[in-house]
A and B are shown apart, each in its own frame.
Chain A
Amino acid sequence: MTEHILRMSGITKTFPGVKALQNVNLSVRRGEIHAICGENGAGKSTLMKVLSGVYPHGDYEGEIIFEGRKCEFGGIRDSEHAGIVIIHQELALSPQLSIAENIFLGNERARRGLIDWNRTNFEAAELMKRVGLRENPTTPISDIGVGKQQLVEIAKALSKEVKLLILDEPTAALNDDDSAHLLDLLRGLRDEGITCVIISHKLNEVTAIADSVTIIRDGQTIETLDMASDHVTEDRIISGMVGRALDNRFPPHEPTIGEEVLRIEDWTVYSPSQPGRKVVDGAALTLRRGEIVGLAGLMGAGRTELAMSVFGRAYGVHISGKIFKDGKPIEVRNVQDAIRHGIAYATEDRKRYGLNLIEDIKRNISAAGLTGLSRRGWVNENEEYQVAERFHKSMNIKAPSVESIVGKLSGGNQQKVVLSKWILTEPDVLILDEPTRGIDVGAKYEIYTIINRLADQGKAVLVISSELPELLGLCDRIYTLSEGRITGEVPRADATQESLMYLMTKGQEK
């Protein structure tokens, strides 16, 4: 039996009201590439934050043994000192500084308090050679692409004498060439004796490079598989990731589906931050009256990007494609156009994009539909109050009055305010992005009931969700999205978690 470099046992981490990790065990052998797989929100990132000291010792229960020693990290500095380096999905580089400066940031090559620039640039060049980055060490970070920035992060990790390198979704933002290069690099590092833990949604990559894989589901470790001896396939991993039974969490619903309301054709969107990267690629979908349609996809698949670009080009650049409303082509140039054409979009990040948290319920509800509540610019406050009162009752918003500040409501009630706001604009199409994120189970049921009611009123609803059981329980038809492309369209009767997960992780065919 090979030696284990890391053993985490019995890790339990609770956030107020939620058990994010429950008795999780993870053992990583020295010199292997160990993948961690799980659905969005399964607890992978939380586990890595526990390991790297982001959540300090005492903040969680359980034991971490690294290199045979019990570790009690008080912060990232401690874990880095021990030789554990984590590279987050959002890269932590300072864009205006040079590659060399970034590599040695916080760890400067200095002599008597003064930076030794020769040594800095020379050693940086050595490290860059090791990771296969052909650039001048003095180039600013903002001048190189994301793929190369990822390499700088790895070079930075190497400069700290890393023993265990953790990568969180390293290839999520990369194109195929950069991904392939990165995976080659990881193999090279493994051969040099550096152990890697990689969190990835791309199962083809996992099966290609990992030596073993640990599957986490709902904050618990399900199993650890050895890739070679267990003959692990993508399907095997998928069944581990989703294997969970559906219970009675969804109100019953009989849909009455009418004619087509919204159709999108050949929809392509480019990333505004990374020129040339397609985030949505030739997507097409159709929504019909009274129908609840699901959009499934893993993080980074382009779900939100697709929805927001349709909603008045609120995201993305060089958007091309056609939108048809009731069979007729329409121009949607901005959010006002979208609202006028009866399209509403409830964002996945309510607090940042969906609400004015320092304002009251009444004014949040009326914000998008103010035109209907005012005449020649003057707002009819009486009518506004009555409208808000109506939603307060019909949506069962739990707050003392419609003048309560929205920032102080619970997640479920905030979401009801967001939904009220959009219902007031009398939309024909509602796009709901993660409508139940951060909402407790009871309130979820209420939100599902509201969604069903909206469909019964003849509206078309598109639900984006990371939770497959939610899509299966709620939707009449489900689209799957992978790497910006629609990879499947499945009626509810034929859909299973496994079949969806297969479509969601299907890479691009060449």
Chain B
Amino acid sequence: MTTLTVGRASVPTKYLPVLVTGCLFLAMFVAGGIRYEGFASGQVILNVFIDNAFLLVVAVGMTFVILTGGIDLSVGSVVALSTMISASLMAGPGWPPYLVIPLVLVIGSGLGLVMGYIVHAFDIQPFIVTLAGMFLARGLCYTIGTESIPIEDPTFTAFAQARLDLFADMWISPSVIVAVVVVLAAVYVLHYTRLGRAVYATGGSEQSALLMGLPVARTKITVYTISGFCSALGGVLLSFYMLSGYGLHAVGMELDAIAAVVIGGTLLTGGSGFLLGTVLGVLVLGLIQTIISFEGTLSSWWTKIFIGMLLFAFILLQRLFSARSRR
């Protein structure tokens, strides 16, 4: 059975997890709208984007890695390191942002490249390699400084606080534009390029991909580099959001990113999933936070509880699908 009939239309099973996440998001939004006054507005959704632009960018990189069947635990630390480098270079020597930001992106990509190379060349599980990368990057933050460093560069703060007005009193931050551009570029790469095909093929069956003559090694190194780049960019966006650099920023963000990817329906074993799913995954996570804050009386830890339950539900769902498709 390749399709599942929903009403009269039939949907290929591979789109089903994304569809489920989409429906979940809609249901949450509608429920929130009924329960809370002022919830059902476009700005609430836009706020979710504004507050989670950095997570979205990081999760895009994570999607690439997970699609090849790998994992990248270093992203949260690389985000923190990026905020730290940006803040310290702008505060101390007073470097301008247009120098600092490219430098940070190069450092992040470089870290990813090195980890990808180690994963490939020594055939070590990505879990271990990126775990080492996670400790390394987090430790490097504290060699720069143990305190939070504020960012006061005028260009930087102006950009960070800019509001782009849309129609009907709605607005977004420039970070959202950056995140959307990253998402669109990633969709394009994943679905319309040879690299994208190699990513899916490597995750689907690495041995087959090798025997089909696909550049498996290059692909694996590339996805970690992309993830490193996305983490660094996520770090820049986070410093827009926080206007500070701090070694304790983004603690545990790697797990949020993994959660978003999994809730978005991407198989942790690789080879199957969509970027749209990841976007929806981030939105679902963001909307949970929004609902908790609208509720007012609940502590923010309820966010974690809901995310935990959702993850369980989605992993069970995936298990169900893969069990059925194997039959």
A and B: real partners?
yes
Contact B213 A359 (CB under 8 A): no
Contact pick for A405, options B194, B197, B212, B325, CB 8 Å: B325
Q: Which of A367, A400, A403, A407 makes the CB contact (< 8 A) with B212?
A: A367
Binds B, one of A68-76, A101-109, A234-242, A334-342: A334-342
> What residues of chain A lie closer than 8 Å to B207, measured between beta carbons?
352-353
**Interface hit among B35-43, B70-78, B119-127, B198-206:** B198-206
* Interface residue from A359, A363, A379 paired with B193 (Cβ < 8 Å): A379
Is B214 on the interface with A (CB-CB < 8 A)? yes
Q: Does A387 contact B (CB under 8 A)?
A: no
Q: At the interface, yes or no: A345 with Cβ under 8 Å from chain B?
A: yes
Binds B, one of A137-145, A166-174, A244-252, A370-378: A370-378
Of chain B, the residue at the smallest CB distance from A339 is B213
In the assembled complex, the CB of B262 is this many whole angstroms from the nearest CB of chain A, namely: 16
Q: Output the residue of B195, B208, B214 with the most chain A CB within 10 A.
A: B208
A381 close to chain B: CB less than 8 A: yes
Interface of B is mostly: helix
**A150 on the interface (CB 8 Å rule)?**
no
User: Hey, which chain A residues are within 8 Å of B194, CB to CB?
Assistant: 370-371, 374, 377-379
CB under 8 Å from chain B, chain A span 373-419: 374, 377-379, 381, 400, 403-405, 407-408
Once the chains bind, are A335 and B326 in contact (CB under 8 Å)? no
Q: Is B301 an interface residue (CB 8 A)?
A: no
CB contacts (< 8 Å) of A359 on chain B: these are 200-201, 204, 271
Instruction: Name the residue among B195, B197, B210, B325 with the largest chain A CB count within 10 angstroms.
Output: B197
Give the residues in chain B near A366, CB-CB below 8 Å. Answer: 197
B212 & A368 in contact (Cβ 8 Å cutoff): yes
Q: Is A314 an interface residue (CB 8 A)?
A: yes
A354–B211 CB distance below 8 A: yes
Give the contacts of B188-233 with A (CB-CB under 8 A).
192-197, 200-201, 204-205, 207-215
Asked whether B197 lies within 8 Å of A407 as measured between CB atoms, the reply is: no
Cross-chain contact A378 with B2 (CB below 8 angstroms) = no
Given contacts A339-B213, A403-B12, A407-B326, contact A355 B208 (CB under 8 A): yes
Chain B residues with CB below 8 A from A405, complex form: 2, 13-14, 325
Judge whether B272 is part of the interface by a CB distance below 8 angstroms.
yes
Q: A356 in the interface, Cβ–Cβ < 8 Å? A: yes
A335 in contact with B204 (CB, 8 Å): no
Given known A356-B208, A421-B212, contact A363–B197 (CB-CB < 8 A):
yes
B272 and A352 within 8 A (CB): no
Within the assembled complex, what's the spacing in Å between the Cα atoms of A312 and B211? 9
Interchain CB contact (< 8 A) of B213 among A353, A354, A368: A368
Is the CB–CB distance between B195 and A377 below 8 Å? yes
A358 touching B204, Cβ below 8 Å: yes
Known: A363-B200, A403-B12. A312 touches B208 (CB 8 A): no
Contact of A345 among B1, B201, B211 (CB under 8 A): B211
- Which residues of chain B from 230 to 261 have a CB within 8 Å of any chain A CB? none
A357 at the interface (CB under 8 A from B): yes
User: Per-position contact with B for A300-323: 1 when CB-CB < 8 Å, else 0?
Assistant: 000000000001101000000000
> Is A358's CB under 8 angstroms from B272's CB?
yes
Q: Are A356 and B205 in contact (CB under 8 A)?
A: yes
Q: CB-CB < 8 A to B1: which residues of A?
A: 408
Residues on the B chain within 8 Å of A374, using CB = 193-194
Is the pair B215, A370 in contact by a Cβ cutoff of 8 Å? no
Chain B residue with the shortest CB-CB distance to A407: B325
Instruction: List chain B residues, Cβ under 8 A from A149.
Output: none
C-alpha spacing A349/B213, complex, angstroms: 16
Within the complex, what minimum Cβ distance (angstroms) separates B185 from chain A? Answer: 13
Distance in Å: Cβ of A278 to nearest Cβ of chain B: 23
| Interface bits A323-343 vs B (CB < 8 Å: 1, else 0) | 000000000001110110000
Instruction: Say whether B192 contacts A356, CB under 8 Å.
Output: no
Q: Indicate whether A121 reaches chain B with its CB closer than 8 angstroms.
A: no
* A221: Cβ under 8 A from any B Cβ: no
If A314-B211, A335-B213, A356-B204 touch, whether A379 touches B2 (CB-CB below 8 Å) is no
**A347 at interface (Cβ–Cβ under 8 A)?**
yes
In the assembled complex, the Cα of A404 lies from the Cα of B196 at a distance in Å of 20
**How distant is B259 from chain A, measured CB to nearest CB, in Å?**
22
- A363 and B14 alpha carbons, distance in the complex (Å): 14
Nearest chain A residue, comparing its CB with the CB of B198:
A370
Given A359-B200, A400-B2, is A347 in contact with B192 using a C-beta cutoff of 8 Å?
Answer: no
Chain A residues, Cβ within 8 Å of B192: 378-379, 381
Q: A370-B194, A370-B197, A403-B12 are in contact. Are A358 and B325 (CB under 8 A)?
A: yes
Contacts of A381 in B (CB 8 A): 192
- Looking at B14, B212, B267, B271, the one whose CB has the most chain A CB atoms below 10 A away is B212
Closest residue of A by beta carbon distance from B1? A408
Nearest CB of chain A from residue B190's CB, rounded to whole Å: 11
Residue of A nearest to B215 (CB): A336
- By beta carbon, the residue of chain B nearest A349 is B207
Give min CB distance, A379 to chain B, whole Å.
6
Least CB distance from B32 to A in Å reads 35
Q: Which of B193, B194, B207 has the most CB of A within 10 A?
A: B194
| CA of A118 to CA of B59, assembled, Å | 55
* CB nearest to A366 among chain B residues: B197
Q: Binary interface profile of B, 6-24, with partner A (CB < 8 Å = 1, else 0)?
A: 0000001110000000000
Contact (Cβ within 8 A) B205 A314: no
CB of B271, distance to nearest CB on chain A (Å): 5
- Report the bound CA distance from A403 to B12 in whole Å: 9
Contact of A347 among B193, B196, B211, B272 (CB under 8 A): B211
Smallest CB–CB gap between B176 and chain A, Å?
27
- Taken together as a complex, chains A and B put the C-alpha atoms of A338 and B211 apart, in Å, by 10
Residue among B2, B196, B326 having the largest count of chain A Cβ atoms under 10 Å:
B2
Residues of chain A having any CB pair with chain B under 8 Å: 311-312, 314, 334-336, 338-339, 345, 347, 352-359, 363, 366-368, 370-371, 374, 377-379, 381, 400, 403-405, 407-408, 421
What are 23 pairs between A and B in contact, CB < 8 Å?
A334-B213, A335-B210, A335-B213, A353-B205, A354-B208, A355-B205, A356-B201, A358-B325, A367-B197, A367-B212, A368-B213, A368-B214, A370-B194, A371-B194, A377-B193, A377-B195, A378-B193, A379-B196, A403-B12, A405-B2, A405-B325, A408-B1, A408-B2
- Known: A314-B211, A336-B215, A404-B2; 13 extra A-B contacts, CB below 8 A, are A335-B210, A353-B211, A354-B211, A356-B201, A358-B267, A358-B325, A359-B204, A367-B197, A367-B212, A378-B193, A381-B192, A408-B1, A408-B325
Return the 4 tightest CB-CB contacts between A and B, nearest first: A356-B204, A335-B213, A368-B212, A339-B213
